[in-house]
Amino acid sequence: FEHGVLNGKRVFITAGPTREALDPVRYISNHSSGKMGYALAEAALDAGASVKLISGPVTLTPPARAECVAVESAEQMLAAALDGIDCCDLFIAAAAVADYRPVDVAEHKIKKGSEEIMELRLVKNPDIVATVAGLAEMRPYTIGFAAETRDVIDYARSKLARKGLDLIIANDVSNPDIGFNSDDNAVTLVSADAEVSLPQASKRRLARQLITQIAALYSRTDSS
Ligand code: C5P
């Protein structure tokens, strides 16, 4: 791991889950721990970058040297991601964004009714990383994650194209030893013309290897 490979670079990282409110006391969310995003923030700082960490609700302590923006919903995460994006060199989307949110957020606590079945209407959330990748001007080098259970590389490659990303980090979440909520991960970086596999390691160690690889791939495109 080389210190300084991201000297002078501005990096935005999304991390953790989002929470989509149903009413003042309830929400839809997921089990993302935020560990991978926070480890990447730490590694990017150690590599010399200035980091904005945009995080959904997690129990982790953010690195002291990062600028931290705490958000709850996907819409708030998108707004925080676009704020200052013109100064962003690399955008890393490690957050587990809820795909859908409730159509209506009740102003008051929803009361239990007499019906056995209760239906929720949901609407698709904005795709944050695809929005950033689709920016017409001042578009950062944009990196996403793909958690898959089978045909990992093929799905990652199609997600790379569909979202217009520069790089996608694929991990196989069918293996309980790695991925969601676990301390370890193993990934493959997939870009249009490169494929690099990093074997199972702690998220901290893997984050440092990832930042090294990301900096190398990014430097091939960076003209500044
Ligand atoms: O489509 P899928 O959720 O599998 O894509 C995962 C990648 O897209 C991750 O990098 C995640 O952070 C990002 N994403 C996003 N906004 C969404 C959904 C996913 O930025 N609404």
Q: Which is catalytic among the residues 7, 30, 171, 185?
A: 30
Q: So what's the pLDDT on residue 177?
A: 80
- pTM reported for the whole predicted model: 0.96
The residue with tokens 């901290």 is 204
Which CA distances in Å does 114 have to 36, 108, 110, 117, 118?
43, 18, 13, 9, 10
Give the CATH fold of the 10-108+119-219 domain.
Rossmann fold (3.40.50)
pLDDT digits (tens, 9 = 90+) for 104-136: 999 999 999 899 999 999 999 999 999 999 999
Task: State the closest ligand 1 atom to the C-alpha of 98, by its place in the atom list counted from 1.
Answer: 21
Residue 180: pLDDT band with limits 50, 70, 90:
low
Give the Å distance between the CA of 144 and the centre of ligand 1. Answer: 7
- 129 known ligand binder: yes
- 112 known ligand binder: no
Q: Does the pLDDT at position 159 exceed 90?
A: yes
Q: Is the CB of 37 under 6 A from ligand 1?
A: no
pLDDT digits (tens, 9 = 90+) for 63-90: 999 999 999 999 999 999 999 999 999 9
Cα Dmax for the chain: 64
Catalytic status, residue 171: no
| Contacts of 215-220 spanning 24+ positions with Cβ under 8 A | 215/5, 215/6, 215/47, 216/5, 217/166, 217/167, 217/189, 217/191, 218/89, 218/90, 218/141, 218/166
- Structure tokens belonging to residue 134: 């689709």
Q: Does the pLDDT at position 163 exceed 80?
A: yes
CA 157 to chain centre: 17
Q: Does the pLDDT at position 175 exceed 90?
A: no
Task: State the closest ligand 1 atom to the C-alpha of 144, by its place in the atom list counted from 1.
Answer: 10
- Structure tokens belonging to residue 190: 């997939």
Which CA distances in Å does 109 have to 4, 29, 74, 106?
51, 18, 21, 7
- 178 known ligand binder: no
Percent above pLDDT 90 for the chain: 88
Give the Å distance between the CA of 163 and the centre of ligand 1. Answer: 9
Domain residue spans in the chain?
10-108+119-219
Q: What is the mean pLDDT of residues 12-31?
A: 97
Least confident of 1-5, 55-59, 118-122: 1-5
**What is d(CA 108, CA 128) in angstroms, rounded to the nearest whole number?**
29
pLDDT digits (tens, 9 = 90+) for 86-97: 999 999 999 999
DSSP 3-state of 73? coil
pLDDT digits (tens, 9 = 90+) for 186-196: 999 999 999 99
173 versus 212: the higher-pLDDT residue is 212
Q: Rounded mean pLDDT of the chain?
A: 94
Q: What is the dihedral of CA 85, 88, 92, 93, to 10 degrees?
A: 0
Q: How many CB atoms lie within 10 A of CB 83?
A: 13
Give the Å distance between the CA of 112 and the centre of ligand 1. Answer: 33
Which CA distances in Å does 138 have to 132, 162, 191?
10, 20, 20
Asked whether 14 and 35 are in contact (CB, 8 A), the reply is no
Q: Is the CB of 74 under 6 A from ligand 1?
A: yes
- Here the ipTM equals 0.98
